[in-house]
Structure 1
Amino acid sequence: MLLLNSLDAALDPTVFGGKAAALARAVRAGLPVPPGFALSREGVLALEAGSSEIEAAWLEASGRLGGPCAVRSSAVGEDGAAQSFAGIYETRLHVIGEPALRAAVLAVGRPETDVRIGVVVQRMVEPTAAGVLFTRHPVRGVAGLFVEASWGLGEAVVGGLITPDSIELGADGVALRYDVGFKELEVVAVEGGGTEQREVAPSRAEAPCLDEAQLRALAQLAGRCTEEYGLALDLEWAFVGPRSYLLQCRPITR
């Protein structure tokens, strides 16, 4: 029985869920995914029960990550081509310390539910800018690269807290259209753990949050993901300065 695996080995979506399996594939393809590990539904239940079957592996895996972590659900059937559970289940960000991480995994795994939910644990990325990228327009259905971006963590975008920058890119990363949004809030990590919303100064709220080099990097990331998955994709990404990270990758289902 598989309880816990490094993220690159969590390839079976029927065991670790769709999100974990997609990220495992991305890691193996050399995409810039933050390091982490995954627990199966049985792993979450074993952790809740304090089972010796998982304790040593848990302590080793959580200790290896070190520092703040992000904890996300990974349901069996999630992020498949026929359906998506994006945003339905819980996420805990900037979790600090092993006791808090254990509690976050149990909360996100929701072991009382009938749905088979695994959990992905990754080293926390604290971005300067983040957001989503679609390789097909989510409403019009036309092919292309469509970006929504904001300052700080991507939760400001996916949670609909602000009007994000809206960008259409060419395959080379040149902006065909860049509509600057009003990003009056950003979601940022808090020193003691967790996140909070902070006001953004008006001059920064109305400034583009991505530069030309970052736009090119996003186009390159989208191209690599498309080569690997061969589908219309919904990506969640983040920048720490010039460095890009792939946080999630799922098929577009609408």
Structure 2
Amino acid sequence: MKKVVPFAKAQDTSLYGSKAVGLGDAARHGLPVPPGVALSGDLVEAVAAGDDACIEKVTKAIAGLSPPFAVRSSAADEDGAAASFAGQHITVLNVHSADDVPGAIREVWWSANSDAAITYRQRVGLFTRPSVGVVVQTLLDPAVAGVMFTEHPVTGVDERLVEASWGLGEAVVAGLVVPDHFRLDRSGQVLERRPGRKRIAVRPLPNGGTFEEQVAPARASELCLGDAELAALGELALQCEKVYGPRRDIEWAYQDGTLYLLQCRAVTTGKSAGQAPAAPPRDPVAALRRVELFADMDRRQAEQIARLLKERPFAKGETVIVEGTGGAAFFIIESGEATVSSKGVTLATLGPGDYFGEIALIDGGPRSATVTATTNMVCYGLTFWEFRPLIERNGTIGWKLLQALAKRLRAVDQATIAGALQPEATAAAPATPAPAAQPF
């Protein structure tokens, strides 16, 4: 059900995700939320895949919002008490125009299917395909922003803990500053004020994106909240507890003297340890047939798999996959280059037409190497979550995969036996290598 609705109508977590429904609760109870819309997980996936009709649906839905925009993830199992996914699912800030929103949505979708997010899912016992809703909001340009816990997150003491800094709250959330620190009791009385070192402020750029503005030394150590602002935050904490319950993690911002609620989620307990979508690959079937695992597929079978590919851009210097992390996506390089390394040693250079990570489509196991983009790079990716249902529905494709894996195993066995049978005098010579395989 590909839907996009105003916050006030976002009530189904399975469709829109926890963050969107939380903002919907806020809107329905009159809390000060910046205007925005919620996108269902299947609509987000369709936009990520470049579906023109779905992209148009989103464009129409945000026509009434004032740019710039903040595009945030809202997965169905995000922001719960056992798993917050903080730092895993990205937020794209200061999206300058409606035309740039689909590209930002695609970035959010891929962040939920990244190796880091997959590893986190494995660690907290949520290794299931993510349904990634998205919220699109008008972005504030606040004077001050930060976070507030309605109960001390470390000691559990019944008091409000507030951390604040100049500019956008990402400076606090991302740990870019030492924020001002405040403690309030439930009545709003200030128990502690401790200035931080707020040497930068994250600000929106005129044409999209953000930058880190240097803060004057005197202002860096100046408290950014006074009594009136702290009293309003204490009142907001009471309102949020009334609507959502106790133990809340609140993101907030002050713009033009008005306090806004950006999001409100449960405090995590840790129970378990800007472009429109590009066209699909010029010849996705040919690209797949260069992959050893898919080389023997007929054209119809390759087309079924190729339809699942989604574009994923990487900036120069960006890490694509990390050695030792859980893997759930396979990539074919469309343009650009990357290096492969293990334990700090460079192993190979990859370019257009090369591929990596195909074994993760089958076992979801840890990556055996790190891949880093050495230029701006565009890949086409396929996730375990999309690939597995196709195989479960299509026994013929599954059989072809078994044959390809058996062929690879036989080649490795033959190379091993040949090496073992070499005369001692030539044992130092390299054995005939097995066919190239890149399981990382």
Scaled by the length of structure 2, the TM-score of the pair is 0.56
Distance 1:51 1:68 in 2: 23
Q: Pick from 134, 139, 144: which aligns with 1:129?
A: 144
Structure 1 residue 66 displacement after superposition:
2.5
- Does residue 199 of the first structure (1) align with residue 209 of the second (2)? no
Counterpart-to-counterpart distance in 2, 1:150 and 1:50: 38
2:59–2:99 contact (8 Å) kept in structure 1: no
SS in structure 2 at match of 1:178:
strand
Distance in 2 separating the partners of 1:196 and 1:190: 7
Distance change >3 Å, CA 138–CA 60, structure 1 → 2? same
Q: Which 10-residue stretch deviates more, 128-137 or 61-70?
A: 61-70
| CA distance 1:111–1:49, shift in 2 (3 Å) | farther
Q: Give the AA of the match of 1:4.
A: V
Looking at structure 2, the residues matched to 75 and 50 of structure 1 have their Cα atoms a distance apart, in angstroms, of 20
Q: Displacement, 1:74?
A: 0.8
**Do the aligned partners of 2:170 and 2:202 also contact (CA within 8 Å) in 1?**
yes
* Whole-angstrom CA distance in 2 between matches of 1:55 and 1:207: 45
- 2:246 is the counterpart of 1:231: yes
Which residue pairs with 1:62 in the alignment? 62
Q: Cα distance, 1:50 vs. partner?
A: 4.8
C-alpha distance in 2, partners of 1:97/1:251? 32
Deviation at 1:171, TM superposition (A): 2.8
**8 Å CA contact retained: 1:93, 1:195:** yes
Larger Cα Rg: Structure 1 or Structure 2? 2
- State the partner residue of 2:46: 46
> Over residues 85-133 of structure 1, what are the superposed CA-to-partner deviations in whole Å (9 max), with x where a residue is unaligned?
2222111111111221121111112298342211110000111000000
Distance 2:31 2:18 in 1: 17
Output one character per residue of 1:146-171: Cα deviation in whole Å (capped at 9) or x when no partner: 10000001111111111100000133
Tell whether 2:194 aligns with 1:179: yes
State the shift of 1:56 in Å: 4.7
Distance 1:38 1:5 in 2: 5
Moved more, 78-87 or 12-21: 78-87
- Partners in 2 of 1:87 and 1:245 — Cα distance? 22
Query: What is the alpha-carbon distance in structure 2 between the residues aligned to residue 173 and residue 28 of structure 1?
Result: 25
| Contact 2:35-2:138 within 8 A present in 1 as well | yes
Structure (1 or 2) with the greater strand fraction:
1
| Aligned match of 1:100 | 100
Three-state SS of the structure 2 residue aligned to 1:136 is: coil
What's the counterpart of residue 90 of structure 1?
Answer: 90
Counterpart of 1:110? 110
Per-residue Cα deviation, 1:226-253 (whole angstroms, up to 9, x for no partner): 0111121000000013200111100112
Q: Which amino acid aligns with 1:70?
A: A
Cα distance between partner residues in 2 of 1:177 and 1:112: 38
Q: Corresponding residue for 1:165?
A: 180
- Kindly provide the amino acid, as one letter, of the partner of residue 241 in structure 2: T
Q: Measure the CA separation in 2 of the matches of 1:186 and 1:123.
A: 19
Q: Secondary structure at the match of 2:130?
A: coil
Higher RCO structure, 1 or 2 (CA under 8 Å, sep 6+): 1
Match in the other structure for 1:14: 14
SS in 2 for 1:110: helix
Alignment-derived partner of residue 242 in structure 1: 257
Matching residue's letter, 2:64: R
TM-score (norm 1): 0.95
How far apart are the structure 1 equivalents of 2:87 and 2:38? 19
Counterpart position of 2:161:
146
Distance change (3 Å), C-alpha of 1:111 and 1:144: closer
- Alignment-derived partner of residue 35 in structure 1: 35
The residue identity in structure 1 corresponding to 2:199 is E
CA distance in 1, matches of 2:214, 2:48: 38
Any stretches of 5+ residues in structure 2 without a counterpart? 114-128, 270-440
Aligned length in residues? 254
- SS of the counterpart of 2:62? helix
Q: Is the 8 A contact 2:55 2:102 kept in 1?
A: no
Secondary structure of 2:225's partner? coil
Q: Gapped runs of 5+ residues in structure 1?
A: none
Q: Distance in 2 between matches of 1:221 and 1:151?
A: 20
